[in-house]
Amino acid sequence: GTCIISEPPLFTTDALEDPNNIEKDLGRIVRSLPKEGQRAFLSLHNNNPGSDPFSNIIRSNGYPLGPSSDVGGIFPLVARINHSCLPNAQHAWSDKHQKMLVHAVRNIEPGCELTLSYIAGGPSTERRKNIKTYFGFDCACELCSLAPEARKVSDERLQKAQKLDEAIGDPKRVRYTPDRALADCRELLSIYESEQVMDLRLPRLYYDALQICGMHSDQARVCVFAQRSRDARILCEGKDSSEAAALEKLVSKPSSFENFG
């Protein structure tokens, strides 16, 4: 997808020095910013106004620097992008560029609002509960605003998707009944296509299929699923994606998969 935004952090939480007094420490960091940076930070939405305003602005707007990182950052421009359960863009931290990147994952017409998903999916009741709990608003996106019958069909598919995802991750099924595990992958892919899922769930699914095939020494399929996962990663994260680079190596040499055979 096209890179729409490439934004360095205003600051990151690894600048914190006093874990026993985070609010005071954040105040120090904010005051050290240029005036423009201070205004950018203080103008961000606070989901929990009242005590500890700096900490709550971080909780309301911070993004982790990667999926497994304990360090978060403040990105004023990215933080202003609204949520949709059917987003047209995907954010991803780039270690190479030390920036948060936002890529289009669908065609975005001129004048169309840019959206990201703040949550990991699921049926509408679960999504709306999580959005209300963690972000303080009632989701009225395209997916949550479907007519009742259409929303019911969507919810049933997404509930099935959760069960399939759990089953695909069962190591015993992967080892002893790989054909059934791959059938689950195909069914989950069909659901994702019906639900127009274009986020990071897609490359993860292809990688799950890659792992199943790799554990059973199927080099041809490892190559195919590595290509699909790589392409889906590039769509979401750009050509400089470190995950895409790792997958490219598996395309070239499928037997290099760490659990091959």
Q: What is the pLDDT of residues 90-135, one digit of tens each?
A: 999 999 999 999 999 999 999 999 999 999 889 999 999 999 998 8
pLDDT tens digits along 138-176: 999 999 999 999 999 999 999 999 999 999 999 999 999
Contact indicator for 204, 55 with CB cutoff of 8 Å: no
End-to-end CA distance of the chain: 34
Same fold? 3-124+131-135, 146-256: no
Q: Which helix (H) or strand (E) holds 206?
A: helix 201-215
In the chain, pLDDT over 70 holds for what percent of residues? 100
Q: Nearest to residue 212, comparing CAs of 180, 252, 240?
A: 180
Tell me the one-letter amino acid at 198: M
- Domain coordinates in residue numbering, the chain: 3-124+131-135, 146-256
pLDDT tens digits along 38-84: 999 999 999 888 788 999 999 999 999 998 899 999 999 999 999 99
Going by C-beta distance under 8 Å and a sequence separation of 6 or more, which residues neighbour residue 16? 22, 25, 26, 29
Q: Which fold has domain 146-256?
A: 1.25.40
Pick the CATH number of 3-124+131-135 from 2.170.270, 3.40.50, 1.10.3470, 2.40.160: 2.170.270
* Most distant CA pair in the chain, distance: 61
* 88: confidence class by pLDDT, cuts 50, 70, 90: very high
Q: What is the pLDDT of residue 261?
A: 77
Tell me the one-letter amino acid at 168: I
- Model-level pTM? 0.90
Q: What is the pLDDT of residue 120?
A: 84
Q: What is the pLDDT of residue 204?
A: 97
Query: Which position has the token pair 């400089």?
Result: 240
